[in-house]
Chains A and B, each alone.
Chain A
Amino acid sequence: MSTAEDLPVLGAPVDRVDGPLKVTGQAPYPSDVDLPGQAHAALVQSTIAAGRITDLDTTEAEKAPGVLAVLTHHTVPRLPRGPMTSLGVSPPAPLQDDRIRHHGQHVALVVAESREQATAAARLVRVEYAPADPVLDFDDPRAVSVDDPWGLDSHRGDVDAGLASADVTVDAVYTTPDNTNNPLGLFSTLAAWEGERLTVYDATQWPAMVRETLAEVFGVPEVSVRVLSPFLGGGFGAGLRAWPHVILAVQAARDVGRPVKLVLTRPQMFTSVGHRPKGVQRVRLGATADATLVAIEHHSTSLLAVEDDDYEPFAAGSAVAYACPHVVTADRQVRANVPAPVSMRAPAHAQGNFALESAMDELACALDVDPLELRLRNHADVHPALGLPWSSNALRECYAVGAERFGWSRRPARPRSRRDGHWLVGQGMAGVSYPWYQAPSLARVTVTADGGATVASSGMDIGTGTYTVLTQLCAHLLGLPLEQVRSDLGDSDLPEAPQAGGSGLTSALGSAVADACERLLGALLELVRDDPESPLHGSDPEDVVAAGGGLRRRGDPGRGETYAAILARHGRPQLGADGASTPAQPTELGMALAGAFGAHFAEVRVDEDLGLVRVSRVTTVIDGGRILNEKTARSQVIGGVIGGIGMAVFEDTITDPTTGRIANATFGDYLVPVHADVPDLDVTFVGEPDRASALGVKGVGEVGLVGVAAAIANAVHHATGVRVRSLPITLDALL
């Protein structure tokens, strides 16, 4: 038995199925949800970066109008830290003692009848501190460092010998600043207890993890905790953890015996839900005169919170980016009194690729070879570490198609070759090899009496189109029109799916949906095969296809019946099936599991007198395996490129070097690209379905961002002759 062989909906640029809900304001984003009798909470945050609280006076706040409770480390019970998750440790539990570990740490939570009352009363909480001298940067001799935090450091060949044998070497240091994820939607948690049952509407990318965490922290069974995140106003990684404010909102709801809603402010979004940590990277490359790489050495140091972890192996990607015999990559983290970092769209790779692809451009200049040619000559035809063929790899096609669309061949080789008035015009490029990632997933698909179907999963749509692609996939596999399929997502009571993160959800959850559809069709077929009243009575599985809203005889579509008819005759209101997917194992497959590949070609204009950088066009070509929806995938990549433009020329979370306070924690001061900064973005997909994925899918959520910063920095060099090794590329850097 198989599904329809034509592909009417899969891959098509279908409009978002949740679009009408969103544009009419009916999609319930977390902060839109209200419950009867709810109270509101506001945070009090520390105004020092290190030290202790010596006095915390809540008297005035408690007397303020509408105040129901003030939670402090004196009132909050000792709570266990949340569990180890597949992405690492949970953040420390909040309000457990008098220690201050970073500026902006939560020190109290005020609960009141209204948000305004809570906010006003929060200002009446008096906190006295005994400040200590905070560790705020890499160079502080007191800082504790962690070498090879994830066991990902790699050694291949003999890098010193490789460098010694090179005709040309590059040795350069690149720095990237703190960036803040800054989803537009303010993170919010609404928690309600009914006895020992807990319901939480949370701005999370991972409802199942929040459920597990809350169950463990508050000592209740997982089944009595329900976490809902059906819509999210962006996350970019900030929603991958159960942050301290989530725990506090739940504790507050338990304390006051009412639902409690906590919505972070924009400045609190800078200190409470993570950020991309700053880093320093040293890259040494060696090549022979014919532009063959003989050595890659990549060391990184990034900043980490004092009592927390973060997965940020900047350098690791360099071990598999190019065919090269001698490679060392090593990552190191340094603990400081800073807010906890977190994965921010393309964690580690956004930063690591900037260093590697900038260094490759420097090497191309040193070799006097075209930067694209250098990459082609050192292309990793097989996985450089495993020596296995890739499960898919169209990076060469990304380069070829991108170069053609961009007009790369017309680029003059020398920097400062093109000028338009006072604008210097330059072009640069970068390649991207994004890592494979997938986690196990479950899903349920159910056909209902009306003949339609429902997909159900705890996995959520971060805004990228998960609702749409799952609906398309289910419609395709069951032979239903799109309108007859509904997807219910972002509810931890539904079959467990992994986080919307790591560019891995579509493949994991999509494969589980496909498995559920296959099992469901099998169950339906069993019903009809033994049913003398069915036109498909006695049919072999291979003779039946799913089409036209039901099961049909292959080659004889007139002979068949709809799901509605099957269910009706068997007196079933519905029939469902659970599906599962597990990540592929490279050794079993004899293939190296490939993530997405990509190439970016950027053109910039630099005002020669003023140092202003304007990105004038970007061409991006992505190998994302099979693309389930050309429109939502393109939007993903466009969003990624815009994030890359922000990283390249705007985004910089500035921490005051003496107090540890973030100095630009507003959208007026922390600049992200606005419409007027985003030129025409040309996005093309190439490649074949991935052989290691049941659906052939490789995620495209992050690959679009990676490489943009390097392509722009390389274009700036081509325009001006100035090599900028420190992001963002600001006005003064180019004068």
Chain B
Amino acid sequence: MDFLRPTTLDEALAVKAQRPDAVPIAGGTDVMVELNFDHRRPGALLDLTRIGELAEWSSSDGQISLGAGVSYTRLIGELGDVLPGLAMAARTVGSPQIRNRGTVGGNLGAASPAGDTHPVLLATGARVELASVRGRRTLAAEDFYTGVKRNALEPDELITAVHLPIATGGEQFAKIGTRNAMVIAVCSFAIVLRDGHAGAAIGSAAPTPRRVAEAERFLLDELPWDAPAPLADSFKRRFAELVAAAATPIDDVRGSAAYRTHALGVLARRTLTWAWDTYRGSARACA
């Protein structure tokens, strides 16, 4: 197995074009687990940690461009105020050691249905930036996840960044784990409410992380956006039903399908309440 260590993005893309079998590795918190269990044995590892620009983020026009190699710890510390939903998800990842190593780019690369950041990326309408020697393109997050641990990357492409809008309303992420930390999600849910946008997505409850389109449409159409008032229980219940209906979970050692479906409804109800409260607060502040 070759260990390739480019120092610039151009070099990395050239290597990836030559060696499409090379598995990109950033923090290694997923890839090394797979290697240790011999679940995969790639011809080469492509170490991305020496490429400075992948570990940077920038802000312009109400958007954050988050380099694929920014660690969860930095994301929480440096962007927690502008990307509160993503930071919430990042705080639930693993342990401090894993958050020091792990990255959103790596989460996308692994594309596990249980990956913690995916529901937020979906709910906020993030775009994933991909690059190859052929050029750059961006994909809506919902077009990125194509199957269980599968994504839309071409063999010569690398994930370079994620573009997300700065939060202007309410963002929430909730995850159910059987213990308080170091745990893979039994299921997870994210919701983002801002003017003209209602995003909601589920994790660990379908082959891919997925948006819950009907539930989003319900919010967009039915939320009292112009006169933000507390929501009736019946409204929250309806939302919860739509979310639960979109889930197609499985039974596994972490939880039953029935539990996941039920719990998603509970998370949807709770996070809607909290996100709407934040939205109402921000709406009042702007008025």
User: Which one of B33, B38, B176, B182 lies within 8 Å of A731 (CB-CB)?
Assistant: B176
B-side contacts of A650, CB under 8 Å: 178-179
**Contact across chains for A671 and B178 when beta carbons are under 8 A apart:** yes
**Contact across chains for A732 and B266 when beta carbons are under 8 A apart:** no
User: Which one of A609, A675, A676, A731 lies within 8 Å of B255 (CB-CB)?
Assistant: A731
A732–B259 Cα gap in the complex (Å)?
6
19 A/B residue pairs, CB under 8 Å, sorted by A = A609-B266, A610-B176, A610-B263, A610-B266, A611-B259, A650-B179, A663-B253, A664-B253, A668-B33, A668-B184, A671-B183, A674-B182, A676-B181, A677-B180, A731-B176, A731-B186, A731-B259, A731-B263, A735-B259
User: Which one of A614, A666, A669 lies within 8 Å of B180 (CB-CB)?
Assistant: A614
- Interface hits, B10-67 → A, CB 8 Å: 33, 37-38
- Is B256 part of the binding interface, using a Cβ–Cβ cutoff of 8 Å? yes
A201–B244 Cα gap in the complex (Å)?
55
Does more than half of chain A's interface fall in helix, strand or loop, or is it mixed? loop
B-side contacts of A666, CB under 8 Å: 37
Closest to A608 in B: B266
A663–B182 Cα gap in the complex (Å)?
19
Interface 1/0 per residue, B178-204 and A, CB below 8 Å? 111111101000000000000000000
A422–B186 Cα gap in the complex (Å)?
19
A-side contacts of B263, CB under 8 Å: 610, 731
Smallest CB separation, A231 vs chain B (Å): 24
Smallest CB separation, A265 vs chain B (Å): 9
A114–B130 Cα gap in the complex (Å)?
40
Beyond the given pairs A676-B180, A676-B181, A731-B259, 17 more chain A to chain B contacts, judged by CB atoms under 8 angstroms and listed by A's residue number, are A422-B270, A610-B263, A611-B259, A612-B176, A650-B179, A663-B253, A666-B37, A669-B253, A671-B179, A674-B179, A675-B181, A676-B182, A677-B179, A731-B186, A731-B263, A732-B258, A732-B259
User: Which one of B33, B180, B266 lies within 8 Å of A674 (CB-CB)?
Assistant: B180
Q: How big is chain B's contact interface, by range?
A: 20 to 34
Closest to B269 in A: A609
Closest to A607 in B: B266
B-side contacts of A668, CB under 8 Å: 33, 184
CB-based closest 7 A-B pairs:
A676-B180, A676-B181, A609-B266, A732-B259, A674-B182, A677-B180, A674-B181
- Is B262 part of the binding interface, using a Cβ–Cβ cutoff of 8 Å? yes
- Interface hits, A666-711 → B, CB 8 Å: 666, 668-669, 671, 673-677
B-side contacts of A123, CB under 8 Å: 38
Q: How big is chain A's contact interface, by range?
A: 20 to 34
- Is A730 part of the binding interface, using a Cβ–Cβ cutoff of 8 Å? yes
**Contact across chains for B179 and A673 when beta carbons are under 8 A apart:** yes
A86–B181 Cα gap in the complex (Å)?
41
- Is A53 part of the binding interface, using a Cβ–Cβ cutoff of 8 Å? no
- Is A654 part of the binding interface, using a Cβ–Cβ cutoff of 8 Å? yes
- Interface hits, A399-431 → B, CB 8 Å: 422
Smallest CB separation, B91 vs chain A (Å): 11
A732–B176 Cα gap in the complex (Å)?
12
A-side contacts of B95, CB under 8 Å: 674
A-side contacts of B266, CB under 8 Å: 609-610
User: Which one of B178, B253, B258 lies within 8 Å of A654 (CB-CB)?
Assistant: B253
B-side contacts of A612, CB under 8 Å: 176
A-side contacts of B179, CB under 8 Å: 650, 671, 673-674, 676-677
B-side contacts of A614, CB under 8 Å: 180
User: Which one of A610, A654, A732 lies within 8 Å of B256 (CB-CB)?
Assistant: A732
Smallest CB separation, A107 vs chain B (Å): 18
A735–B178 Cα gap in the complex (Å)?
14
Smallest CB separation, B20 vs chain A (Å): 25
A482–B176 Cα gap in the complex (Å)?
50
A64–B262 Cα gap in the complex (Å)?
52
Smallest CB separation, A80 vs chain B (Å): 36
Smallest CB separation, B113 vs chain A (Å): 15
- Interface hits, A698-735 → B, CB 8 Å: 730-732, 735
A610–B189 Cα gap in the complex (Å)?
14
A675–B97 Cα gap in the complex (Å)?
14
A612–B266 Cα gap in the complex (Å)?
12
A650–B177 Cα gap in the complex (Å)?
11
Smallest CB separation, B172 vs chain A (Å): 15
Taking each of A614, A668, A731, A735, which has the highest tally of chain B beta carbons within 10 Å of its own beta carbon?
A731
A610–B258 Cα gap in the complex (Å)?
12
Interface 1/0 per residue, A648-665 and B, CB below 8 Å? 001000100000000110
- Interface hits, A52-107 → B, CB 8 Å: none
B-side contacts of A609, CB under 8 Å: 266
A612–B176 Cα gap in the complex (Å)?
8
Closest to A650 in B: B179
A675–B178 Cα gap in the complex (Å)?
14
Smallest CB separation, B48 vs chain A (Å): 24
